[in-house]
Structure 1
Amino acid sequence: MIKLSMHDAEDLCTQVLAKSGYSTAHIAAISDVLMQAQIDNCQSHGLYRLLNCVTSMQKATVSADATPEIEHISQAILKVNAHNAMVPLTLQSCIPLLAEKAKDQGIALLAINNCVHTTALWYEIELLTQQGLVGIACTSNHAWVVPEGGNRPLFGTNPMAFGWPRPNNQAPFIFDFSTTAMARGDIELHRKEGKLLPDGCGVDADGTPSNDPATILTTGAMKTFGSHKGSALAAMIELLAGPLIGDVLSMESQKKDAGAGGSPLGGEFILAISPEVLLGGAMQAYLENAEQLFDGYAIQHVRLPSSRRYAARAKNLESGSIEMHASVYQDLMAYLQSE
């Protein structure tokens, strides 16, 4: 691992994205999302994702400058065409509109089409909890994952996230995970560092369990967590982030890529719920009552989801620096120095 100042890390983001050809608006939005993940010490979703941004531009599978096209379907539904762009600019444009609808109607939906979901889902979920809203989000991608018992990829990594605002200025309760046994970015980092994977992460081309990240990422496939239960959740996300909002399934996303090797293009489903509209004057009492659940974690000395990220965030913001894998830094510098 190496250390970079926040300023140098942000500058690295800007330089890489600018050299790749992204517009000023997209550079600012993508950099903000990736830096948030890096500050939270999420290595597989932070500056490492710049490599994906570069590859997608080189393969001409993503737009460098598309403006999100926003349609107000109803008082509670927003539909946005990202026009094959990375999603951060759409999120910055539309999450405030989604929050406004949810506060007015009690519940609101944001359906994003034709986007590349650049990094973790907690970014948009945290924006919603900051508005006092409960949030749920999911997205699909390329078909890299076999259904339980299968040997042919059918699902994407299909992450989902949930956020709950907590009273008294406490950090929100947020979980965000892929429905695979390990995130694809983490498997890629294992491959870069020559490390074998733990059991249960994937299979080879014959459906035989494999611990080799290169095999899983090329000729094989990833596995869902939790056997048939994780597989069912992955199928649910395929439907919510695909056909329900008028977008593609993961296997269709792969076909559209046609072997180019670009980042997955597809849909994102985001739901926002207002406890204030739903509960009225009783909202505060019920939010306080919900704290019993989180107290139960503390009493048993069990880590609350996201607490590790929040601790890393506080530490890194205080130090004014971040850590990143040396191999990722070297790859990014090599790209900047290339012709």
Structure 2
Amino acid sequence: MASLTLDEIYQLAYQSLCQAGADDANASAVATTVTHAERDGSASHGLFRIPGYLKSLLSGKVNGKADPQPEQVTPAILRCHGDHGYAPLALQRSVPALAEAAKTYGIAALTLTHSHHFAALWPEVEALAEHDLMGFSCVSYKPVVAPAGGNEAIFGTNPIAFAWPRPGRSPLVYDMATAAMAQGEVQIAARDGHSVPLGTGLGPDGELTTDPQEILKGVLLPFGGHKGSAIAMMVELMAGPLVGESLSFETAERDNVDGGPPQGGQFLLAVSPQILGGENWSQQAEGLFTRLEAMEGVRLPGQRRHNLRENQGNREVNDSLLAEIRQLAPQA
């Protein structure tokens, strides 16, 4: 493991993206997202993602000079064509307009299409919570998850993210795959030689296994059996037909398999508790959080991430990952 400062992590991500063909705006947006993931302890969405970003730039699949512009379809509906670039810049430009619409009308939605999402979902919903809005988002991927009762992949890991504002305090935020484990975490376990919990996935023989290498050859499973499977299907519909984009299996059919993220859709919803719930919304929610925190062994979602954020010290990064990044972008 190598020890890097947060600025070194940003510079490595930024410079490698620029060398692979991204312009300043796109490289800066992606590098910021990657650095925030490392800062907050989400290694599976930090520098770990950079090789995939670079490969998709080098292959020409992704437009490194994308110029996404949000469009106001109705007063409460926004749409952003990603210009075949990475999602962070499109989100950076669209989320403020989404927040403004929700604060004006009480509820607003954003659809993101023709974009490549490879990052965690929490940054965009947390940004909404910082505007005192409830945020929800979901995105699909290529099929790696079998439906309950099946052994053939049809769903993506299909994450959902939710944020609840807490004025004067860090918001409550969670970001979770509807798979039993996010694919990135399985890949890191395979790289580092760790086993995963039974129920994470099936090997190519269709049998349960704790070996992440075998699961990567087979399929992941949804969390909670049929319940997680139903939520994964909901995400397929919300991040696909609802926003005018492809389903996971359709996404796979058009992807060039360069190791980077495929083109897909994202759905974001912003709601004002002040407008919908009235003056007491915050106090009522805090009553729930107080009871939860009083229980031994219970912590609110996102607490660990916000605690880690306070530490601005160095982060440990896998040596082989750094070598792969420098092989793809030697001058970074």
Aligned-partner Cα distance in 2 for 1:143–1:296: 39
CA contact (8 A) 1:257 1:264 kept: yes
**Contact 2:69/2:94 (8 A) holds in 1:** no
Partner residue, 1:294: 289
- 1:322 is matched with 315
Deviation at 1:196, TM superposition (A): 2.6
Residue 255 of structure 1 deviates from its aligned partner by 0.4
The residue aligned with 2:193 is 194
1:176 maps to a residue whose letter is D
Asked if 2 retains the 8 angstrom alpha-carbon contact of 1:59 and 1:262, the reply is no
The residue that corresponds to 1:310 in the other structure is 306
Bigger CA drift: 140-149 or 63-72? 63-72
Calculate the TM-score normalised by the size of structure 2: 0.95
User: Could you report, residue by residue, the CA deviation over 1:187-244 in whole angstroms, capped at 9, with x for unpaired residues?
Assistant: 11112122232211111234221323223223x1111111110000000000001001
2:95 & 2:40 partners in 1: Cα distance? Answer: 21
Q: Following superposition of structure 1 onto structure 2, how do residues 97-108 of structure 1 map, counting pairs within 5 Å? A: 97-108=97-108
Partner of residue 57, structure 2: 57
- Stretch deviating more after TM superposition (287-296 or 141-150): 287-296
Q: Kindly provide the CA deviation profile for residues 27-47 of structure 1, in whole angstroms up to 9, marking residues without a partner as x.
A: 011011111111001100111
Q: Deviation at 1:8?
A: 1.3
Identity of matched residues, %: 38
Superposition map of 1:57-136 within 5 A? 57-136=57-136
**Alpha-carbon offset, residue 21 of structure 1:** 0.9
Counterpart in 1 of 2:184? Answer: 185
Kindly indicate whether the alpha-carbon contact (under 8 Å) linking 1:113 and 1:245 is maintained by their aligned counterparts in 2.
Answer: yes
Task: Number of aligned residue pairs: give it.
Answer: 331
Q: CA distance change for structure 1 residues 231 and 176 in 2, over 3 Å: closer, same or farther?
A: same
**Contact 1:41 1:323 (C-alpha < 8 Å) held by counterparts:** no
Q: Distance in 2 between matches of 1:182 and 1:93?
A: 30
- 1:184 maps to a residue whose letter is Q
Distance 1:257 1:237 in 2: 20
State the SS of the aligned residue for 2:262: coil
Secondary structure of the residue that 1:245 maps to in structure 2?
coil
Could you tell me how far apart the structure 1 residues matched to 2:257 and 2:35 are? 30
Give the letter aligned to residue 256 of structure 1: R
Alignment of 1:204-223 (within 5 A): 204-218=203-217, 220-223=218-221
What residue is the counterpart of 1:256 in the other structure? 254
Answer with 140-149 or 56-65: which moved more.
Answer: 56-65
Give the equivalent residue in structure 2 for 1:10. 10
Q: Which ranges of structure 2 fall in alignment gaps of 5 or more residues?
A: none
